Amino acid sequence: MGKVEKIGNLILWGLQGFLVFLLIFQSSFALPLAGIGHLHPLILHLPIGFGVLLLGLFAIKNQLPSFEVLAEFLLLITAIFSTFTAIFGLFLAKEGGYEASALDWHQWSGVAVSFVYFVWVLLRRNLLVGAGLGFIALVIAGHTGASITHGEDYLRFGEKTTEITSESVVFEDIVQPILKAKCESCHNDQKTKGALKMNSIANLMKGGKHGAIWKAGDALNSHLLQRIKLPMNAKEHMPPLGKAQLTPDEITILTLWVKEGASFEKKVGQFSADFQKLIQPTAVSATTKTYDFSAASESAIESVNTPYCTVYPIANESPALQADFYVAAKFDPKTLSDLSQVSEQLVGLQLSKMPITNESLNQVSKFTNLEKLNLNFTYIDDEGIAQLTGLNQLEQLSISGTKVGKSGVSKLLAKLQALKEIHVWSTNLSAPDLAALRKQFPKVTFDEGYIPKEETLQINPPILVNENLILKPNEKLTFKHTLRDVLFRYTLNDSLPDSLRSPATKASIAIANYAKVRILATKPGWLVSKPIDMRVYKSQFIPSRINLLTAPDPMYPAAGGASLHDFVLGAREVKGVSNYSWLGFKETDFDAVASFAQPAQIHGVTLSYLERTDSDVFPPVKVEVWGGDAPDKLRLLATVKPIQPKEKNGYSPRGINIPITGINAKYYRIKAERLKRMPAFVDNKGKGAWLRVDELLFY
């Protein structure tokens, strides 16, 4: 035992020395290996277990002839692993994403645990006191750590479940509990992964470093749902691997909630029938169809669910299943084939906008109990649809936006006696074709959408693909459309695009610097879309550091100089909630220096600022750019004077480009002078205005 104890003591001394070294130089040391800090939550259970065992050992002290030897050994092991835990905790803290004050409490309480056990290893006396103090330190460190990981209210006792009725508020009673259980542990006041907090409505509305986390009415392009539906092994999948995952029902609830407007006030009874069936299946059980086939096993349903295909019962206690596919770029034909495991129970299949071809319909034809099939905007035609003549239970078919024509529809309807409704908007069916089909099949309803008389339909506006409107080097502004062969016309100078002569693109636009982009969609035979407007920023050169030379007002500190190049645009303020995305200057002017690792021959600087004169926020009256190879040897490169507003206006983020020529420098200093006397059209005329900035970009 003496030799083992000697080795253990040497290890403990070495670890304690290393821990002290890290504490002294924690602001400057670099991680020895990416992700090494994630060992902290794995090993922290060892000192907890050993510490509890050590304290419990005193209860049977008189029954152990070798008590002293065993207690000293346990004390040594506890000290070693508590020091290991503290070291890996410092590594994890370096990876960022935690609120500073909460992290400080946990860090020092964790260090205290290792020091307490280390001291008692040296003293070798009063082991009960050492075990007790160590246990108390463990409880404190454990509590502060759990508060960071799970939120301050992670200990919940006697929590009541809420009965869901048609009067229940969907967000408060259904959506928020899901977010609290599956998301809030990594996105709270103490731990803010991705600069996102999800512990209140105000924080949810602010979003994270990628902006808003959902788009009301657009589940497909909502950041939250995209992350949730990524493959489990994907780096950006949420919740991360190892955390409790959302169930298929929870994913469907969030999807339908966003799709139907993401309201914080709407009640269950105000949502669609599909949503109410999922939430209150018993409320619609009286109208639910009965089936004579047995239910699929839970394991079979679980195995066919993927991040991009949700399979779920159509009603409570019903064996019938619905399968919905999402994200065309992630469509896997194997997932469609895997549905054969539940082919008997599958009555609904949603494949809209998926890359479904004639070959894919061979697999679909095997789902013989299908009642509803959505093939809108897929690549099928008359030859492919002929494979569906064996779906004798099919009641509703959607083939809008496909190349299916009269021949395919006629052959299909002749075979499918149960078909009651078919959606055929934007197909190869002409008006005479539809008239003939209606006459031939009078019991079938043909939905051809809105067909105007002597007028042309207006095409929908373009859909923005980029999640962030601050474009990084080599990144372009990208658009898409639900229709094929759409041409986009755009301008970069705030003028209205001309549908014939303005620059055109089918997908993307190269942006040189800050611009107000206006873009519309065009397609032969359609009226041009309404234009969409956006302010787009471009960063071609990224500085290694930006230092503030003047301090911002305490009300708007943001993240200091780091917030000027974090690629996160300032968020709209929420009443009663502090806004940490804007740097605000009230008594001093803005003054900052950007440093590059190597001299950069930039062509200009963009300053992003806020204009909101109804809250005394005005543009700078003058912006200067200085440059040179040393911070104390800079020369004036350019001066601009932004246009000042002439009337009250609301929230309006803006940018100004300051062109520069003829210099290749490592340091660039930007000074922005705030308005000292506000004009007469504001309430506080004659007083000094606010200056708020959020990004400093170099192009």
DSSP 503-566: -EESSEE---S-EEEEEEEE-TTSBPPPPEEEEEEE-SB--SEEEESSPPPTT--TTGGGGGGS
Biggest CA pair distance of the chain: 102
Those residues whose C-beta lies under 8 Å from the C-beta of residue 223, and which sit 6 or more positions away, are: 210, 211, 212, 213, 214, 467
10-residue block means of pLDDT along the chain (699 residues)? 76 84 74 67 79 78 76 82 84 61 72 83 77 81 66 45 72 85 72 72 76 79 80 72 71 85 80 71 50 88 88 80 87 92 93 92 93 93 93 93 92 92 89 92 83 64 87 91 88 88 92 92 88 91 93 89 87 59 92 93 93 92 94 92 90 91 89 94 91 93
Q: Are 276 and 269 in contact (CB under 8 A)?
A: yes
Number of domains composing the chain: 5
211-245 b/e (C-beta count within 10 Å ≥ 16 → b):
bbbbbeeebbbbbbbbbbbbeeeeeebbbeeeeeb
Q: What sections of 124-200 are H helices per DSSP?
A: 127-150, 170, 176-182
pLDDT for residue 211 = 74
| H or E element that contains 337 | helix 333-338
- The answer to whether residue 387 is domain-embedded is yes
**Residue 615 shares a structural domain with residue 654:** yes
Q: Please tell me the distance from the alpha carbon of residue 153 to that of residue 476, in angstroms, as a whole number.
A: 43
Residues 131, 58 contacting (CB under 8 angstroms): yes
Residue at a domain's end among 447, 477, 502: 447
Are residues 190 and 225 both part of a single domain?
A: yes
- In the beta sheet, which residues pair with residue 683? none
Query: Phi and psi of 527, rounded to 5°?
Result: -75, 145
Q: Give a yes or no: residue 77 inside a domain.
A: yes
Contact by Cβ (8 Å): 523, 552: no
Handedness of CA 447, 448, 453, 458 (dihedral sign): positive
Same domain, 564 and 692: yes
Q: Do the beta carbons of residue 91 and residue 24 sit within 8 Å?
A: no
Q: Which residues, in sequence order, are CB contacts of 485 under 8 Å at separation 6+? A: 523
CA distance 317 to 328: 31
In a domain, 647, yes or no: yes
Beta bridge pairs of residue 471 = 538
Rounded Cα gap, residues 213 and 227, in angstroms: 10
Is-cis flag, bond preceding 653, omega within 30?
Answer: no
Residue 165 falls inside a structural domain = no
* Same domain? 580 vs 629: yes
Say if residue 390 is in the same domain as residue 478: no
Q: CB burial class (10 A; 0-12, 13-18, 19+) of residue 8?
A: middle
Question: Which residues, other chains included, contact 434 with Cβ-Cβ below 8 Å and sequence gap of 6+?
Answer: 424, 446, 448
In which region does residue 317 sit, left (phi positive, over 0), alpha (psi from -120 to 50) or beta (all else)? Answer: left
The CATH number assigned to the domain holding 375 equals 3.80.10.10
The answer to whether residue 455 is domain-embedded is no
Distance, in Å, from the CA atom of 260 to the CA atom of 255, rounded to the nearest integer, reads: 9
For the purposes of burial, counting CB atoms within 10 Å of the CB of 50, is it exposed (0-12), middle (13-18) or buried (19 or more)?
A: buried
Is the same domain home to 655 and 563? yes
Handedness of CA 498, 503, 504, 510 (dihedral sign): negative
Alpha-carbon distance 310 to 278, whole Å?
Answer: 13
What pLDDT does residue 250 have? Answer: 82
The pair of three-digit structure tokens given for residue 70, joined into one six-digit string: 């065993």
| Cα–Cα distance for residue pair 447/437, rounded to 1 Å | 12
Taking the C-alpha atoms of residue 299 and residue 63, their distance in angstroms, rounded to an integer, is 50
Question: For residues 156 and 334, what is the distance between their CA atoms, to the nearest angstrom?
Answer: 43
Cα separation of 131 and 133, whole Å?
6
* Per-residue pLDDT at 159: 44
Given a contact cutoff of 8 angstroms between Cβ atoms, the answer to whether 275 and 281 are in contact is: no
Q: Give yes or no: residues 618 and 494 share one domain.
A: no
The pLDDT assigned to 103 comes to: 63
Same domain, 515 and 602: no
Whether residues 529 and 550 fall in one domain: no
Can you give the pLDDT at residue 579? Answer: 57
CA proximity to 579, closest of 543, 615, 535: 615
Instruction: Confirm if 260 and 275 have CB atoms less than 8 A apart.
Output: yes
Q: Which of residues 118, 150, 182 is at a domain's end?
A: 150
H or E element that contains 87: helix 67-94
Query: Which residues does 435 contact at the CB level (< 8 Å), separation at least 6?
Result: none
Q: What is the pLDDT of residue 70?
A: 80
435 and 335 in a common domain: yes
The reply to whether 441 and 472 lie within a common domain is: no
The whole-angstrom separation of Cα 588 and Cα 550 is 7
Is residue 694, in this structure, part of any structural domain at all?
A: yes
Give the end of a domain, one of 482, 514, 538.
538
- Of 143, 78, 136, 135, nearest to 106 (Cα)? 143
My answer on whether 522 and 551 are in the same domain is no
Helices 45-57 and 127-150: angle between axes, nearest 10 degrees? 150
Residue 299 placed within a domain? yes
Asked whether residue 274 is domain-assigned, the answer is: no
Structure tokens at 71: 């207690």
Q: Domain of 483?
A: 463-538
